[in-house]
């Protein structure tokens, strides 16, 4: 009986050692990863002295991890398989954060795209539908994703928010 307990104790010690090694490797690997929360939505900016709100597409990125993240590029994906399109989003608005953007633990960035230009409302949405979401805009809209690229090759893909999705649908119909 004593020998059986001795063997069981040895096995339990071995399993405990392996579990400790796996857990420590998991924690070490987890710390090496960048964790970003990404949201793409429609916002209206109200400023003092203006009679109308400014319509914006906002790309909101938060670094939820401990490792710094250097955002190098933003892009759009639409379609599937051989019909997949990839576009790089250029930024140039003064209110927007710029690329490249370094985010340390807990920091956030807001990349803004004006949807209206030269007194033409929602011209960005309409040109995106015409140039990117054709031939079937409603079907293509379901596959629309934003990709955030980092300098270490770790990329983050997200769907658009329902507020922006509804805005696209209103302009498709």
Residue 106, sorted as left (phi over 0), alpha (psi -120 to 50) or beta, turns out to be: left
Higher model confidence: residue 146 or residue 90?
A: 146
Per the structure, how many domains does the chain have? 2
Q: What is the pTM of this model?
A: 0.79
- Buried/exposed 114-138: b ≥16 CB within 10 Å, e otherwise: bbeeeeeebebbeebbeebbeeebe
Residue 26 and residue 41 in one domain? no
- CATH for 110: 2.60.40
Find where tokens 């400790």 sit.
20
pLDDT at 46 over 90: no
Residue 70 and residue 137 in one domain? yes
* Parent domain of 133: 35-172
Residue 84 and residue 117 in one domain? yes
**pLDDT confidence tier of residue 94, bands split at 50, 70 and 90:** confident
């Amino acid at each position: 009986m004593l020998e059986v307990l001795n063997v069981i104790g040895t096995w339990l010690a071995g399993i405990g050692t392996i579990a400790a090694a796996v857990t420590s490797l998991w924690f070490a690997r987890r710390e090496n990863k960048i964790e970003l929360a990404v949201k793409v939505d429609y916002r209206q900016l109200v400023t003092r002295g203006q009679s109308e709100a400014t319509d914006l597409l906002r790309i909101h990125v938060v670094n939820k991890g401990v490792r710094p993240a250097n955002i190098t590029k933003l892009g759009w994906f639409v379609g599937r398989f051989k019909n997949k399109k990839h576009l790089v989003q250029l930024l140039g608005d003064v209110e927007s954060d710029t690329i490249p953007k370094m985010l340390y633990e807990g920091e956030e960035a807001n990349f803004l795209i004006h949807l209206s230009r030269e007194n033409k409302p929602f011209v960005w949405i309409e040109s995106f539908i015409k140039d990117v979401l054709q031939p079937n805009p409603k079907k293509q809209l379901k596959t629309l994703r934003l990709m955030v690229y980092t300098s270490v090759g770790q990329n983050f893909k997200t769907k658009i928010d329902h507020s922006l999705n509804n805005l696209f649908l209103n302009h498709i119909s």
